[in-house]
Amino acid sequence: KHRIVIPCLGHFKEEYEKVSKLYMNNKIRTTRYTLLNFLPRNLFEQFHRVANLYFLFLVVLNWVPLVEAFQKEITMLPLIGVLTIIAVKDGLEDYSRYKMDKQINNLVTKVYSR
């Protein structure tokens, strides 16, 4: 048997709203990204990997005319490919975390009552 508890605040509603702003809510959030910070945060995390920094160094080095070994676009392909694949993987993982958080936050809860 489940029970839904709705507080009857009455004339204490304004006081409750003032006090409740000071505390965090009980929602679970395990996602790392939002729609606004996905691209910059994901790129920041990916360039903490040494391999990605190495490929970025090769791309930058290839833009120098004296050192240019290949066409500029060809040296960018491996880096762009790896960054894209990892970004898609991270996005899908984060979306599945978001769906799981939403499912957990919408569960019916039991309230202890004497």
Confidence (pLDDT) at 98: 95
pLDDT at 5: 56
104/28 Cα distance (integer angstroms): 8
Residue 91 lies in a domain: yes
Q: Could you tell me if residue 114 is inside a domain? A: no
pLDDT beneath 70: ranges in the chain? 1-10, 110-114
Q: Report the alpha-carbon distance of residue 69 to residue 60 in Å, rounded.
A: 12
pLDDT at 9: 63
Number of domains in the chain: 1
Q: Which domain holds residue 79?
A: 30-106
